[in-house]
Amino acid sequence: MLPAEIADPRDVERKIFESFWDDGLIDIFAGVGLCLVGIAWILSVPVLGVLIPIVLVPVWLIARKRISIPIAGYVKFSRERSENVHRTSVILIITGYAVLVALGTLYVIVRSAGMRPDLLARLVIGLPSLVVAVVVLLSRFLFDMPFRTLGYAAMVLLVGILGIASGLDPAYQFLAIGGGFVAVGSFLLKRFLLSNERIDEPS
């Protein structure tokens, strides 16, 4: 008999689903994506940000299939959860990157115009990181992401605030944030691989 605190099948599924993020791959790919967005902004081509998830998401899925699933195990989640995750992912990715491209375009215009670091310019500098912080925070509750997601949101928010205060170029903010994601993800992936054994796919 299941313990009372996890007797609800939906709660069991949620706990299993949360554990599927322990491989660190989502952290690594999110970090690489943010670094690429930062590089695109440095090159003054923010529209390339739209192409980044189109490339990275399929690669991430392949990596999970070949690295993580054979170790974590083969689990088929409920149709309701799968459909909800797919639908919410599409909406969140499209909305998030559309906003980032819009902000990136505004950033390029502001930088090209040589605006002085007044209130508007400083808000433009900080807004991209603040948007990422909101997206990361929403992902915690929409996708049952692990508790560390709240730490990521706090880190990104702090970088955005520091960016507004110091005038740090948002492209470099993204590089710093992305680097942090990759560092944590790499640690988690190493721990995941060392502490688990591969499970053969059922026939």
Residue 154 belongs to some domain of the structure = yes
- pLDDT at residue number 155: 93
Q: Where residue 4 falls among pLDDT bands split at 50, 70, 90? A: very low
Residue 200 belongs to some domain of the structure = no
Report CA 4 to chain centroid distance, whole Å.
33
Residue 65 belongs to some domain of the structure = yes
Contact 28, 186 (CB under 8 A): yes
Residue 3 belongs to some domain of the structure = no
125 against 39, higher pLDDT: 39
Q: Where residue 39 falls among pLDDT bands split at 50, 70, 90? A: very high
Residue 176 belongs to some domain of the structure = yes
Count of domains forming the chain: 1
* Domain that includes residue 43, residue range: 10-195
Q: Can you state the percent helix, strand and coil of the chain, rounding each to 5?
A: 80, 0, 20
- pLDDT at residue number 152: 92
Q: Where residue 6 falls among pLDDT bands split at 50, 70, 90? A: very low
Residue 203 belongs to some domain of the structure = no
pTM of the entire structure? 0.74
Q: Which of 189, 94, 82 is nearest to 143 (CA)?
A: 82
Residue 58 belongs to some domain of the structure = yes
Residue 1 belongs to some domain of the structure = no
Quick: pLDDT tens for 60-102.
888 888 887 777 665 555 566 555 655 666 666 666 666 767 7
